[in-house]
Amino acid sequence: MSISNVGSALYSDALKALDGARKSSETKKGEVADAAGSGAAAGDKVTISSQGNNLGRLAELAKGAPEIRSERVAELKSALEDGSLKVDSRELAAKMFKEMSLESWF
């Protein structure tokens, strides 16, 4: 049985998007401060917090995430129930520890 590192890839993409959102938010804050300092006419304005921006970016990432392959899930569930699914517990544990150690770097 082969287990891919999909979770880490998605996690990495989400971190990159959040970093980009933070940089974008900081740039926008600087632009707003410049506009306010230049004597621009006062009016209604709406600001979105950096947390709101981050949530929007994560929602976009979630839309692009691979969908669940229900036929594959059903196949694995059936194999698990009838006992024909063989899992190498050492290989599984090694991959779990490897993934956990990679995520600790972010």
Domain ranges of the chain: 6-103
**Structure confidence at residue 78 as a pLDDT band (50, 70, 90):** very high
- CB-CB contact of 87 with 96 (8 Å): no
pTM tops 0.85, yes or no = no
**51, 55, 65, 79: which is closest to 11 by C-alpha?**
65
Residue pLDDT, tens place only, 32-58: 555 555 555 678 888 888 888 888 888
- CB-CB contact of 18 with 58 (8 Å): yes
**101, 26, 29, 13: which is closest to 63 by C-alpha?**
13
- CB-CB contact of 102 with 8 (8 Å): yes
- CB-CB contact of 10 with 65 (8 Å): yes
Check whether 69 has a pLDDT greater than 80: yes
